[in-house]
Amino acid sequence: MTEGPGGRPRERVNEYDASCAHCGAPVPAGAGLLRHGAKGWEVYHPEHAPVPGPPPRGDHPGWHRRRLLALDIAATGNRPAVDRIRSAALRGSDGTAHDWILDPGSDLRSADPASPVVHPGSNIPSVDTSSPVAAGSDGAVPSGRALDELASLVAAHLGSRELLVVWFAPYVLSTLHAELVRHGLAPLTERLPAGVAPVCDPLVLDRHADRYRPGSRSLRSVAAWYGVPHGHPGEPGSDAEASLLVAEAVAASYPPIARLSRPMLHTEQILWYAEQTSRHPDALQWPFATLRPLPWEPPPEG
């Protein structure tokens, strides 16, 4: 299935003759619309088909009503042990906002200045003057300095046992771990003796809550599905904000997920992610892998 406007999946039609799940009348092949319900795929006359979308959001209590902090990065590629973080952002449900543009050093400045990507099509964001690290005239700061401050803020939040929201956590947190070690800085595993937890990965949550939904599971598409604004896909600040709002939307739409305690939510995601990646034996572990940093090399062509 391909995507339609706004990243939503296009309508899917029935390939075979069927009966309308609403009125019971015949629906010739190609004339109806498919919807996935609790009992599997169902066929409807177009005028009877329910509007596709997530369940209505409830007002139930849950972890989504607590203080959340979202992290996102943009890097030189998608190789956590090799690629370097070019920019990063934190967004909090309490209005917290921090942004960094990192100076990767002369070895990368002389390399091909391709736009860094965490998700396809991402770009280097402009500097935000609210960043706690003062930027130079080009908007970048030494990587070690920025990474240490970023890790300190993340560790302080996790140390309070509140959820850290990270879209595709294995990539983001594994890259952050390698970068901290590369710069001789204490990784999160050393800053948090009790463990790097609790983490909330909205990608894992959405795949678990709505596992049969067709279409892309990119942040752009999932944000569109839940009606979450995502103005600048690929920019860490916009991606972090969208990730936070998607996490809240999933919890508001699926009470059983919202009612999990923060430690249990973290534990369940380990199991859900393992199931989701069971056919990918080389998938990074969740929520991250303690990778040994490798020397920089340009990404392979093609």
pLDDT tens, position by position, 72-122: 999 999 999 999 999 999 999 999 999 999 987 755 654 444 444 443 223
Each residue's pLDDT tens digit, 190-230: 999 999 999 999 999 999 999 988 889 999 999 999 999 99
Strand-pair category, 141-142 with 33-37: unpaired
Torsion of CA 273, 279, 284, 287, to 10 degrees: 0
Reported pTM: 0.82
pLDDT at 213: 85
pLDDT in tens, 119-148: 322 332 322 323 343 344 356 888 999 999
pLDDT at position 137 is 39
pLDDT band of 51, cuts 50, 70, 90: confident
CA distances for 280 relative to 13, 222, 276, angstroms: 30, 22, 9
Angstrom distance (rounded) from CA 167 to CA 287: 10
Contacts with 40 (C-beta within 8 Å, 6 or more apart), sequence order:
none
- Residues 142-194 have pLDDT tens digits of 899 999 999 999 999 999 999 999 999 999 999 999 999 999 999 999 999 99
Looking at residue 108, what is its pLDDT? 64
Which pLDDT belongs to residue 41? 83
